[in-house]
Structure 1
């Protein structure tokens, strides 16, 4: 359940920095910046995305402005799997996860 996010990876002029354009705004019109090691307490989609990306590892910083996600890779970090993490941000039930049902008469 949920809807995948369309992700287009774009090159930047700075080595180790990758930009992703997505088909929805996850910050409204504001900017959000996150650094590795920073506590992320919020429950907004942008907060969840930052947590997932940092849990993946190999990332020093993330900047999100509306529908643009900019990732600053750590030294030796790769882009492998970043686009998939972004694409699956709004997928709630993946393969093997039982979808809850509402009992009859409830």
Structure 2
């Protein structure tokens, strides 16, 4: 359940920096910056995305402004799977997960 996010990867002029454009704003009009080693507080979609990306590993920093996500890879880090993490941000039930049902009469 949920809707996948459309993700377009764009190259940048800086080695190790990748930009992703998505089809929805996840910060409103504000900027958010996250660095490896600093706790990601909050429950907003942008906070959850930052946690997932850092849990993946290989990332030093993340900057998000509206629908643009900029990822600074760590030395030796790759872009493999980053687009999938972004695309699945709003997918709540994956394959094999039983979707809860509401009993009749409730």
5+ residue gaps, structure 2, are: none
Listed one character per residue, the Cα deviations across residues 6-64 of structure 1 (whole Å, up to 9, x for unaligned) are 00000000000000000000000000000001111100000000000000000000000
> Which residue in the other structure is 1:85 paired with?
85
Unaligned runs of 5+ in 1: none
Corresponding residue SS for 1:29:
coil
> 1:42 maps to which residue?
42
TM-superposition CA deviations, 1:78-98 (whole Å, max 9, x none): 000000000000000000100
Task: Give the match's secondary structure for 2:71.
Answer: strand
Q: Does 1:17 align with 2:17?
A: yes
CA RMSD of aligned residues (A): 0.3
Structure 2 SS opposite 1:90: coil
TM-score by length of 2: 0.99
- Corresponding residue SS for 1:2: coil
| Runs of 4+, deviation exceeding 3 Å | none
**2: distance between equivalents of 1:45 and 1:103?**
30
Partners of 2:66 and 2:53 lie apart in 1 by 17
Number of aligned residue pairs: give it. Answer: 106
> CA–CA distance in 2 between the matches of 1:89 and 1:33?
18
